[in-house]
A and B are shown apart, each in its own frame.
Chain A
Amino acid sequence: MNNLSDKEILQLFQDKKMQSKAFSMLVQKYQERLYWQIRKIVLSHEDTDDILQNTFVKVWKGLQNFRYDSQLFTWMFRIATNESLTFLKEKQRKHLGYSNGEVEEMLLANLESDEYFDGDKAQLELQKAILKLPEKQRLVFNMKYFDDLKYTEISEILDTSVGALKASYHHATKKIETLLKLNEV
């Protein structure tokens, strides 16, 4: 059912009668990749589910005017990333007086009690270390380390030069290795 290319799905979407079907195909094609992108930023499944649905609603609204200036996938990834970061900022605003570090500690506490977290001790320590990174480095690290995205793709999603991304990833890995050494994992 879902072997159509992005371009074919978009063409189908232009036909009012086929719009819902085309959109459903698009959701099924990208739902997992977008889910994991969001999940790695906000960690909890419940929050991820909310943000993912918001992301797809925004994609629906923007799809009418989508032009192939960027790939459909990177455009959707960018929306998902922005939605996730907005969610974290909103969380910080709601808990006035919370610093960035405190919000991340709260995320970590949620993760430990999340029934959909299935990691061992080493994986939990890695998540703790990732949460200690600055926002940009965390995003780059997740996209490169877990998803193995190309720097050019990350560059389009985060609107940052490839050189700056390479430097961010390098710093991120060094920091994480240091933190893991400190915790003797």
Chain B
Amino acid sequence: MKDLSNKKKDHPFKVPEDYFENLADRVQERINTEKSSKENKIFPVLKPYLWMAASILGIVFIAKIILTNAIPSEFRNPKISQTTVSVKDTPNVVLNTDSANSIWIMDALPDTSSDEIIEYLSDYDIDSETLLANL
């Protein structure tokens, strides 16, 4: 028996009865367990980010409510809030303004002279009270 070629090549090992019969099922079970544990791991990882996003949204929502209530009612006048202002002789300039930023009209029309603005106001018959109320 000193020469390997004379030795029998059988395995000296055995396996439990029916071991190979249900191996495929056990492997499949293990794969399913790994899959579900992987899915369960995703939520804990995302949880802090979801909390952060929810907090930011909450803060934005509360800030919007506070700011809306803090703006004086004259700045929320529906009559002027969606006025379209077009300036004569400046056909390319059309401004959609709301009450809060209407005071910036002068800044938005740097090339328009005072005379042109006065002419526009008289043409459209806007009285001084309306103008003052919307400043």
Chain A interface residues (CB < 8 Å from chain B): 20, 23-24, 27-28, 31-32, 35-36, 39-40, 43, 45, 49, 52-53, 56-57, 60, 116-120, 122-124, 126-127, 145-146, 173, 176-177, 180-181, 185
Interface of A is mostly: helix
User: Which of A27, A118, A120, A126 contacts B14, CB < 8 Å?
Assistant: A118
Closest-CB distance, A23 to chain B (whole angstroms): 7
> Does B7 lie within 8 Å of A122, measured CB to CB?
yes
Q: How large is the interface on B (under 10, 10 to 19, 20 to 34, 35 or more residues)?
A: 20 to 34
Given A31-B23, A53-B30: A173 and B4 within 8 A (CB)? yes
> Does A116 lie within 8 Å of B16, measured CB to CB?
yes
Given A27-B24, A31-B24, A57-B31: A124 and B12 within 8 A (CB)? yes
CA distance A118 to B2 in the complex (A): 21
Q: Name, among A27, A32, A52, the residue most crowded by chain B CB atoms within 10 Å (CB to CB).
A: A27
User: Which of A45, A146, A176 contacts B15, CB < 8 Å?
Assistant: A45
- CB contacts under 8 Å to A, within B7-22, are 7, 9, 11-16, 19-20
Chain B interface residues (CB < 8 Å from chain A): 1-4, 7, 9, 11-16, 19-20, 23-28, 30-31, 34
> Does A56 lie within 8 Å of B3, measured CB to CB?
no
Enumerate chain B residues within 8 angstroms of A43, measured Cβ to Cβ: 13
What residue of chain A has the Cβ atom nearest to residue B27's Cβ? A56
CA distance A118 to B13 in the complex (A): 5
> Does B4 lie within 8 Å of A145, measured CB to CB?
yes
> Does B28 lie within 8 Å of A24, measured CB to CB?
yes
Enumerate chain A residues within 8 angstroms of B28, measured Cβ to Cβ: 20, 23-24
> Does A123 lie within 8 Å of B34, measured CB to CB?
no
17 interchain pairs (CB within 8 A)?
A23-B24, A27-B27, A31-B20, A32-B20, A35-B20, A39-B13, A45-B16, A52-B23, A57-B27, A57-B34, A117-B12, A117-B13, A118-B14, A124-B12, A126-B7, A177-B2, A180-B2
